[in-house]
Structure 1
Amino acid sequence: MTEIAPAQQRGVRLPRTERRVQLLAAAQRVFSENGYHAAAMDEIAEQAGVSKPVLYQHFPGKLDLYTALLESHVDELVGTVRDALASTTDNKQRVQAAVGAFFDFVNGDAGAYRMIFESDLRGEPAVQAAVDRATSACVDAITDTITADAGLDEDKARLLAVGLVGLSQVSARFWLAHHRTMSREDAVSLTATLAWRGIGAGFPLQHPPQEPGAPGH
């Protein structure tokens, strides 16, 4: 989430987009510290330096605010994974980058990853839809890459993509929960090696990379 400068105090008029970013940043702090049920709109407004009416102009209720914040984190995660896949045409490095994207997301903002992977509001349809999108959009991106490069049909490629997403997500969360007993680099390397030996060795590149001179895998 974007940090809000101290100068953005109560009474300062901001463009609607900037105000929304400010409110989401304040909400992130309050939800992370207190959890959803104990978080109060009064405290979020105070953290943002706005009046409650201003807060309610942007978000009609606490659930609306929570869902908007969750959606922003989902967009961040999906964008990170897509950027990782697009960062190279070397498939071994792609696997490493995709795994690393999950580790970076989990390690970057504990409040963000907990809202997606450990939300206690999954009974709410809007929350569940956002949580489902976090996984499905990442799976879609990886499926497209595997289908294009390994020559598999979509069903097989999707199953492999689900496996890679699940392996990366669970491994990253385990690494974080166990006090980072190894470095991020070592943890990503171990996880990526496991994935690559299954995907890379079992399903070699079927088409040459588009970039001249780039290795296939």
Structure 2
Amino acid sequence: MTETARVHAYGNGDSSGPGQLGRGVRLPRTERRAQLLAAAQQVFAANGYHAAAMDDIAEQAGVSKPVLYQHFPGKLDLYIALLESHVDNLVGRVQEALSSTTDNKQRVHNAVGAFFEFVNGDAGAFRMVFESDLRGEPSVQQAVDRATSASVDAITETITADAGLDEDRARLLAVGLVGLSQVSARFWLAHHSSMSREEAVALTSTLAWRGIGAGFPLQQHP
């Protein structure tokens, strides 16, 4: 299980999650780190960054403050580590969506779906990535920017290879697809009571495909 997966497992009520292992229980470093990140996610989601305290995070994780500080020197370090894990999760979803098939229409559908799944999976995670209140902090902004830039890079590579476009034109289309997917997914989350995620993904991906697929068909390579 990856660190990101452990964070989500703990955050979704895993029986060995934050606050349930108790003080004095020794864990491998990677598992302890994932446990602390999951506890931090709960505290940041409940209180926001500025009101969250390291005392609260240590208590949520069931560890002493010295243990918490052994892994993360300060609150900002902990926040950035958590943010980076969420960005890795999103980018991994997009990359998997693109590599899961060679059918470009399905690729567009899967890529759009990756953003909807991320937004729907953990409201606290997507708000940290897309609505962070620490964007004025350079290290936070860098992580937030990577969520978009790495997704754009992955889609650009696919479009360049399959649509016969140069990198600049492929990147512009990739930026459009990522922007459409992000904004649509966030709008759907706020107003999705009358529409399933599957229908929202289908509508959004159809719009994207009619622009990309119809205008830039798959090139046959020798």
1:9 deviation in Å? 1.7
Q: Distance in 2 between matches of 1:197 and 1:123?
A: 37
The residue that corresponds to 1:2 in the other structure is 9
1:52 matches 2:65: yes
1:146 matches 2:153: no
Q: What count of residue pairs does the alignment treat as equivalent?
A: 209
Alignment of 1:1-217 (within 5 A): 1-3=8-10, 4=14, 5=16, 8-207=21-220
1:110-162 Cα shifts (integer Å, max 9, x gaps): 00000000001001011000000000000000000000000000000000000
5+ residue gaps in structure 2? 1-7
Segments of 4+ moved more than 3 angstroms: none
Query: Percent same amino acid at aligned positions?
Result: 82
Contact 1:28/1:69 (<8 A) preserved: yes
Contact 1:175/1:181 (<8 A) preserved: no
Q: Distance in 1 between matches of 2:196 and 2:74?
A: 41
State the Cα RMSD in Å.
Answer: 1.2
Q: Could you say what secondary structure the match of 2:27 adopts?
A: coil
How does the TM-score come out when normalised to structure 2?
0.92
1:2 deviation in Å? 2.6
* Structure with more relative contact order (C-alpha pairs < 8 Å, separation 6 or more): 1
1:178 deviation in Å? 1.1
